[in-house]
Structure formats: C-alpha cells, structure tokens
Structure 1
Amino acid sequence: MPAPPPAVDVAPEDAPEVPPDVARALEDGTNRERLELIRGRDALSDAAHAELLTAARGWRTLLRLVWRHPDAAVRVDGLRLVADAGLLAEGPAVLNALSDERPEVRDAAETAAVALAEAADAAVRAGAGDEAGRRAFVAALAAHLVTDGPRSDAAAGWLAIAASAGDEELAAVSADPAAGPKLTAALETNAHPGVIRTLLGLVSLRRPPRAALRAAGRTDPGFLIPLLKTVARAGAGALPGLPPLAWLGEPEGVLNAVPPCLQTAIEELADRVCEGGRSRRAVRLWLIAHGAAAARRAAEPVLRELPADARWDTLNAALASSDVDVVAWATELLVIHRVPGWPRRLLALSSHESGAVRAAAAAALRDAAGETGARPGAPRFAASRLARSGANRAGAATSTRPGRAARR
C-alpha cells in the first residue's frame, strides 16, 4: 500500500492577514502612527482590528495624549477605542469626558461608560478582569459623585457595580456632606428606573444622610416601583432614613400601577414608615380591594378595626370586583360581618358562574344556619385556601368561631 502524501499546510486565499505596515505600527510604531491607526480603524480588516484592540491595552501614554487633544474628533475616536477594547483603567478619563462641553464627546463618553460598565460587571461576576483598573476607576467614580453627583445613566451603572463589590471609597461617598445633596437631587428628579434602583441600592448598602431620601414623596411609577423592589429584596429596615410617606394615607391611584408581586412590600413599607394607624389602615384597605390573594389575606385583620358601615362598604366593593378570588373571599365574610341584606346576596351568589364563589356562598349559608349572632371570626373558605397555599398565619386558631371544631 503506497504511503500517503506528506501533509502540506496551505493557507486559504481569503485567510485574514495583518498588513506589514499595520503590524509594524502596532509593534513599535510612533504615537503619531498609532493615532492614525485609531482614527482609521474602521478601514482595517477584522484581523488587524483585533490586533489593534489587544495592543491598545499597553498604550497608556498615547491615550493620555488623546484625552488632552484639542480636537473633539480625536477624543471621540479614543472613547470608541476604550469601549471596544474594554479598557477599565481608562474609566476615569471616560468619567471626565461626561462633563465635556462638546455634545459629541459627551455622547461618546456615555456610550463608552455603558460598555465599560457591562465589561466590569461581567468581570466581577466571573472573578476575573482588570481588578487594578477597576479599583482605579472606583476611586475616580467616588470623586465624580462628590463633585457632580450621578448625572448620567452611565455613572449610575458604574455606581451599582462598584457598590456591589463593596468598595470602601463608596462608603466614604455615602457619608460625604458634599455628596448628600447631589444624591438627594438625583432621587428627586431622575426619571430613569435603573438610576433610581442604583441610588436606592447605595442607600440601603451605605446608609447615607437621611436627606438623601427626601425624594420618597415621589409617587410616579418610575420611582415607586424601584423603591418597592428595594423593600421586597432587602426589607424596609434597609432604608433607615426613609421619612413618613404621606401618600400612603391616600393610596388610591398612587398604587394602582404596582404589580401583584410587589404588593406585600407595600404593607411592609407602610408598617415601617407610616406616621400613624390611619395610613396603615388605608394601605390595608387598598390591598383588600385591589391586592392579590396573599396581600389581601395579610391585610384582612384591618376589617375588624373598622366601623360597621366602613366594613360593609369595603365588602360590597369587593363583591363587585372582576377577580373571582376577591368575590369569593368577600362572599363568606358577608355573614361574619353581618352585611345588610346578606341572605339575599348569598342566595344570588349561590348561582355565580365561578365554582369558588358558589362554594364560598354555600359555606357561608351553612355557617349562618347554625351560628346566627356569633361573633366575627375567620372565614372557613379563606382559611382553607390559606392552608392550601402553605401559609401559616399566627393567631389563626384564635380567630375560629366557637362551635366550629365540634361540627367538623
């Protein structure tokens, strides 16, 4: 059997190559030659461009010249290079460019800062990357926050990454008297949810001056949703400087944009910061009328604190809800709270299209037949639903009406 022919390495005709003049400039070219490569890199081949991004990591002297260059176009090209190469050590220069008087430079700096934030976040999560460069940037970020505050989304993104890494420089920013008013102003005026979440995250981690949370009076969803997410994640106790929230006393309209997954955070927030029982009661009544099942059950005890007329109005409103869970919950409470006309209402609800409502009406009628005049207690239908959900409310045994255990 003849021996196979020797292998021959044949490069395909379209194999990427770095032109000799580009390779020489990358290896030992002058700053002028390298600057020309940066400015004309859109015309480079993919292979040459990849080599340029790698080589740029050692061009600290050249980049310092770029940041001092009077031509805005040169600075823009430098910022684009920093973004594409992920040069974390150039973060301070990017932050400085956010305050440039020329809009094209500011726009390029914003884009570069966002790109670097993503690169740094990935590096922190992976436990790799330019740690020295990131630390240098954090120090510059701290100075930037004290001087200018978080004026851009990019700066806030960096802030979130550095805060999660536990850098001591940011702890100093939190307590710096010069930074406090700027954080306050950002919370009071910023409309970007990501920035607000970042600032609230810093507040919960670093405990800055109380003045930094004066913005809590805002009721727009752009602030309210991040605030409740912070409470849901870390608890209201993580916001020690939170002042009384006057709008919790009149939650109708304000809380309508809150998704069900954050409704339990509303009650926790109310317990923490409401000025008095009246505001907490208003929040619980809102949850009874509009909340998901878990939030409604948690708020149910407030009914016992209300005058009879107020209880009846609340339950009648719940019966008109489009949520059958709310209707079923209110149905069994008709007897417990002696809502006027409850026999007629229960007979009508016995023919409701929802099986849950019909079951609640039947349970209420059975209870009414044997316990007329008994004091209000926990509805059996609601209690069974609660048991199925796996929740164990303290005091459930004391809320059961007399005689029920004997009948079971």
Structure 2
Amino acid sequence: MAGQAAPITTRAPAVSVGTERAAVFLLGAALQLNVLTSSFGLPFQRLSDLLPFLLIPWLGMRRAVIAEALRSIAPLGAVLALVGISMVLKAHKQAGDVYLTLVLLLYVVQAFILLVLFRDHRVEDAFCAGLLAGLLASLGVLLLASSGVALERFGLAVPTDGLDEELKLFVEDKQGGLWASGNETGHVFALGGVAALMLSLRYRLKAIYLVYVVALLASFPLTNNRAGLFMPLMVFALLMRRNLRASMVLGVLGVLGLLLVAWSLTGEIPLPNTLAQAIERRFADDHNVSENFDERFLSGITALRLVVAYPFGVGEVARREELKALTGLVTPHNGFVSLALQNGIAVALLLIAGLVRILSAPGRFGPFLTYSALFLIPSMMFEELSVNQYFLFFMAFILASLAQSPDPPPETA
C-alpha cells in the first residue's frame, strides 16, 4: 500500500553474520594453535596478542556492540580501570608485567564484544568450532615435536635455549608443544572441553565430545598432566551415563583387570611404550606424592604471605624471585594466588566474583560462560596459568561478564 512504512528488522544481514562467523572461527583456532609471533621478531608474544588490534576496531563497530557498550560503560570502565591501576600500584614493574597487563586489558575489551556477538548462536558456535579445530592442530604440533622435529623457527614451539639442565629435563618429561611444558598444555586442552561440551549439547551430538576426549587422552602420554584430565573426564562420565550398558562396563573392567594382572606378574604394562611409561610414571609408580604435596603446601602458604605483604601485587618476575628465595620454588601451583601476586588482591577477587556470579545464576548467563567457569576453576586451582594467553582469554570473558546484564536481549539469529 502506498505510503505504508516498511517494517524495520533487527536481523543482521547474512553476509555480515558470515564474515563474523569466519572471523571468530579463526580467532578460536588461533587461540589453541597460538603461534609464537615473537619468533619472527614481532613485538607480540603470541598470535592471540596481535588479533585484538585487528578485531576490536572491526567487530566493535557493530550497532549492537556500541549500544551495549554505552549501556555498560560504567561497569566496563570500572573493570578496565581496576586492572589498569594494578599495573601502576604493583611493587615492581618490568617489561613482562606491563605486557601481560596490557594483553589482559585488550582481551577484556575483545571478550566484551564477543559476548554481545554470541547472542547470535551461529557466531558462538563458530567460535567453539574454531577452538576445537585449533586444538586438533595443536595436538598435531605436539605429536610432531615429540618425534624430534624442530619447530621453534616456525613459531610452533617454545625455545629452550638458555634453560638450565634440570628445567630442560622437566620440559622433555612433560612436553608442551606450543606451550612451555605439559603442565600448561594439559590444562589448555582441558579448557577446550568448553567448546566440545557446548556443541555436543546444542546439536545433541555426543560424538563431538567423544572425539575431544580421545584427543585429550592421546596427548596425555606426552604432557603427563593428570590434573587436566579430571574435569573433562568427569563431564564425559555425566554426558555418557545414559549410554552405558552393563556389558560395556564389565568389558572395560575386564580389560583393566587383565592389564593389572599383567603388570603385577611382569612389572610392565602391556601397552604402547610411551603410554605405558606415562601411566606408570604418573599413576602406578609415582613415589613423589608426599614430597609434591609438601612442596605445594609450602609454596602456597608462602605465596599467600607474599600476597598479604604486597596487596597491590609484586609483579611477574619479582614474585618468582621472592618465592624462590624463600622456598626454593618459583610457583605457588595455583592460578588465583599467582594472579594476586602479579596484579594484586583486587584483581584476583574481581575474577572470583565473576565466577561466583556466573555459577550462582547459570541459567541467566548461558551455557558458554557457565561451562567456561566450570572448566576454568579446577585448572586454576591445580596449576599456575595466569600467564598463559589461552587462560588469560577465558579469564577476560569472566571479567567482561561483570560489565554486562545477565539478561541479554532476545537472540538475533
């Protein structure tokens, strides 16, 4: 009819959504296959540190992002200011401290934008698919590195030049591929379970999570990281509980029983050599449990005392030096404590507040943030991961969620 106003649609053009999906897919892949760009002389440690300079200006210009930023300018500004102030107030500031703080600030802004875009589940799914694709590629790099291929010149391995012999032996025992050691890689792969669980439940395809678990277990003989298996395997058991049959359970128990008998009779586990050595070293033949517990207790208590002594943080390099001088160890084996030592108590409490807020109302924050919190906490409790870019990125999601309403507008998909 002449003169009738055309209906206004809020749906994004298909081309725009397609480019957004492609961009976040590549971002997710880059987070897992996180190339060391510093190996090529670039002023960035890793590829994920470069991407915010490209993605924030482009994705941040979306109308929905600008509208949400204007609504949330006060809480978002407060979060960014608190993290930024920590860089000024910490006791010792070195180049590494400034760099990691700036990276976290950029990640928080980028995470805020992504959370707005994730209201369209197609974009969220693309990001998760990218994470899983990058995980498989990163696993391939780990396997190549374990076979002796020199990957440092391609930015696919952390250089070991300059490390003392003891540390080199540790890295050889717990191989890390793209990351410093298996202690990092095992937890990075574990946090990849967020993407696998998201896609498995959304599309009712448990095979996605099954493939993820197989990939995670395939990495274990190289990373030797036990703690990273706990949450993914617990979720796997819950996810597959309805598919379990008595015959299947009895079959698995029978195989385990035969392996146990063979080990008791021969002293060897009849499995491929690398896998057998990993199981024996980390489960069957680990006589260092008591000493390991004592070390963690000593470093943890001492680190907490340093947190009290330096409430605004002591800095990344200085806290390692002080902890080593007091205990002979350089890590508190806890990501929350190490974050407090680096950036101060306020930043650590801000992260904890975000985790509590999400887990206290999972239905209002959605599955992505809920699963991120569930997978992030156990890894942070077991290992120092507050300097790992993959974990910094997910920590940024938690911090960014503090600036947003837990009740987003209806999905635009």
Structure whose CA Rg is larger: 1
Please indicate the TM-score interval, normalised by the length of the shorter structure: under 0.3
> Normalized against structure 1, the TM-score is what?
0.26
> Normalized against structure 2, the TM-score is what?
0.26
